Amino acid sequence: MPEDTTSTWENAREDFVAQWGALGSHWGINRTMAQIHALLMTAPEPMYTDEIMEKLTISRGNANTNLRELVGWGLIQIVHRKGERREYFQAEKDVWKMVVTIARERKRREIVPALEVLKSCAERTKEESGGPGREFHQQMKELQEFVEFGIKVADTVVSMKHASALQWAMKLLG
């Protein structure tokens, strides 16, 4: 009977990578991108593309596309090793910095554009004097105010140091 050479931590890591990938779609990124991020986040050393492709059994094109996207999000960095031509990739290991980066990117890519639509809809309907048009305008204004409030809260939290944010959250929840 062949001996299983995969260590306990590697098995746990595979489970984590699979689950992180499944969660990715809820965060606005595809499964493979999230799996690459999880793999790099838990890698003891920076990895190069071929290693990532082998671990996740994905194509070079899929790996390259998702690596570039992760670099664009600021979640991973390219590392160059002296004397080597290949690029290595490493993820931010600090969980707080990672969460802050994701929050900032989601704000830039999703929240700000949605807020602009709300502002535009409210502005275009501000002269509505009654009925459904006035109700629509009021809904857009209230949504705009709520999103702006959410942005202020999120900006405040992400500008805090990790310990301060946890203390603030505990007070808020306690």
Cβ–Cβ < 8 Å for 77, 89:
yes
pLDDT at 45: 95
- Is the pLDDT at 172 greater than 80? The verdict is no
Task: Read off the pTM.
Answer: 0.79
Calculate what percentage of the chain has a pLDDT beyond 90: 67
Provide mean pLDDT across the span 23-32: 84
pLDDT at 4: 57
- Is the pLDDT at 3 greater than 70? The verdict is no
CATH topology of domain 8-91: Arc Repressor Mutant, subunit A (1.10.10)
- Is the pLDDT at 2 greater than 70? The verdict is no
Sequence-separated contacts (24+) of 44-48 with Cβ below 8 Å:
45/90, 46/79, 46/88, 46/89, 46/90, 47/88, 47/89, 47/90, 48/86, 48/87, 48/88, 48/89
DSSP string, the chain: -------HHHHHHHHHHHHHHHHHGGGTS-HHHHHHHHHHHT-SS-EEHHHHHHHHT--HHHHHHHHHHHHHHTSEEEEE-TT--SEEEEE---HHHHHHHHHHHHIIIIIHHHHHHHHHHHHHTTT--SHHHHHHHHHHHHHHHHHHHHHHHHHHHHHS-HHHHHHHHHHHH-
pLDDT digits over 112-164, tens only? 999 999 999 999 999 998 899 999 999 999 999 999 999 998 898 888 887 78
pLDDT at 1: 44
Provide mean pLDDT across the span 27-40: 92
Q: How far is CA 77 from CA 37, 63, 68, 80, 93, in A?
A: 11, 15, 10, 10, 11
Between residues 6 and 147, the one the model is more confident about: 147
pLDDT digits over 54-73, tens only? 999 999 999 999 999 999 99
